[in-house]
Structure 1
Amino acid sequence: MVDNIKNKFKDYKPYINGAQKMKKASVLIPIVKQDGVHHILFEVRSKNLNTQPNEIAFPGGKIDPGETPLNAAIRETCEELGTDKSNVEIISPLDLLVTPMDLIIHPYLGIIHDLKQLSINEDEVDHIFLVPIKHLLENKATIYDNQIKIIPNNDFPYDIIPNKNNYKFGSGNYPVFFYSYKDYIIWGITAKILENFLNFLES
């Protein structure tokens, strides 16, 4: 028995409990240099998309079966921005983000070397815009806290747990970040990933 267990865990790489049933995506935080200043590139999603139209986002999307998170980030970036992977340099993975909506996001930090090589996929992207990294560091996010609670379904078996119907489920805090730049509001998951990156720069 023990030998069998050892064999099963020989090359095991821990990930996230329950990941098999969760959606998975990758995104890229693209750094670009323009006029001697380093910026972050953001997309405004097409208004014709079924999910999150007109939202501000990083390049990225769903990880296909058999695809690595890194390959997904590069592929989605190239598809959305209309460029070649030779124009994308990966610097590092960033912290994983697990959302309350059963989504695992693998963020990566990278460089887009030549903006002139971009040909935006208008089916997915309305337009792009650049924000100086210095602006984001000097203008902190506004944070709104939200409470996350467990709301049991009607068929939850209270009768087999301690304290029955009086059981006290824990709750958690889910902060939502808002960054502003000109007429743009960067918020939600994109802002949360951005905030994680900016914290690295300040540490």
Structure 2
Amino acid sequence: MRGRVSVEVAKRVLSGLGYRVVEESIPIVVKGEEVGEADLIVEDEEGRRYAVEVKAGKLSVSGVRQAKVNAKILGLEPMVVARGYADEAARALAEELGVRVVCLADLIAISETDLYLVVKAAVEEVLCEFLLSLRALKEEEVMRTLEAIAESDSFSDAASKLGISVGELGRILGSLRRDNVLPPISGYKSLRAFAAALVTLKRLLEVRKIP
């Protein structure tokens, strides 16, 4: 739970600094094997993308090395969000390896209770978005799109199931967001989870109607 809270806080802090969250929970794969995961991918105002490691505590030397290696595998710039450095060795290594470090201690003073409230607010926001999306349950074409997303591992897989191009799927999703049927979700993994929740709810409601 603490790690999830840290990621949510990091997203808000980075957004406030002008970064755009592009994706979350990115698997790091080497020769077909998953060897780790980056917490976030963010993009700055100039279009540079960073693989972000979020630390619940302070950044150590090993954390600096991990961030550098993970970013290199992903072909991105390295960044760490942490509550400062564990020691001067970690600071020196980060500077030497070009790892950008965002120190939460320099930006916010927040207790665990405050962190809980931040996440609570985020959860409430998600629930409101979910409630707004419930009207999609009555739209057959919308549900067909959501079912394809829920059952696919990527945009291309979902588009293939629907018999349309990835570009066309993107246009459909854009229209659904403008109509507040879908919230502004970042990353396919989150979109798939949201779609799966709506599809599951629809199926449960259909089961309840069976005499």
Which has the larger helix fraction?
A: 2
Which has the larger strand fraction?
A: 1
User: Do the two structures share a fold, i.e. TM-score over 0.5?
Assistant: no
Give the TM-score, by structure 2 length. Answer: 0.28
